[in-house]
Structure 1
Amino acid sequence: MDNRGQASAEFILLFGGIMVVVLLAIHMYNTYMKDLSGEIASREVNQFNSELNSIGKYFK
C-alpha cells in the first residue's frame, strides 16, 4: 500500500473543503455588504466623502 498517496489525497480533499468554506464566506460577506449599502443614507455618504476630500488636501 502507498500511504503517501492516501495522505496526498486526504490533503487535497481537506484543502478543497477549506476553499469551499472560504468561497461561501466571501459570497455571504459580499451579499451582506450590498444589502448594507442600501441602508446607508446618501446624505451620510456625501458628508463622509466631503470629509475625506477636505483631509486629502493635507496629503498632496
Structure 2
Amino acid sequence: MDNKGQTSAEFILLFGGIMVVVLLVIYMYNNYINDLSGEMASNEVKEFNSQLDALGKYFK
C-alpha cells in the first residue's frame, strides 16, 4: 500500500483540473474584454460622427 504515491497523484490531478478551469476563465475573460473594447470604440466613433454632423450644420 503506497498511500504517499496515491496522495501525490491525487494532488497532481486536482492541481491540473484547477489549472484547466483557470485557463478557461482567463480565455473567456480575454474574449469579453476584446468585445467590450470594440463596442466602446464603436460608441466613440458614433458620438464623434454625431458631433461632426452637428458642427456641419453651421458651415452649410
TM range (shorter): 0.5 to 0.7
- Cα deviation, 1:5-51, whole Å, max 9, x if unaligned, reads 000000000000000000000000000000000110346xxxxxxxx
Residue equivalent to 2:37 = 37
Write the distance in 1 (CA, Å) between the matches of 2:24 and 2:32. 12
TM-score by length of 2: 0.67
Q: Structure 2 regions of 5+ residues with no counterpart?
A: 46-60
Q: Which one has the largest radius of gyration?
A: 2
Residue equivalent to 1:22 = 22
What residue identity is the alignment partner of 2:13? Answer: L
Measured on the aligned residues, the alpha-carbon RMSD in Å equals: 1.1
TM-score by length of 1: 0.67
Q: Which runs of 4+ in 1 moved over 6 A?
A: none
Number of corresponding residues = 43
Matched, 1:11 2:11: yes
Residue equivalent to 1:55 = none
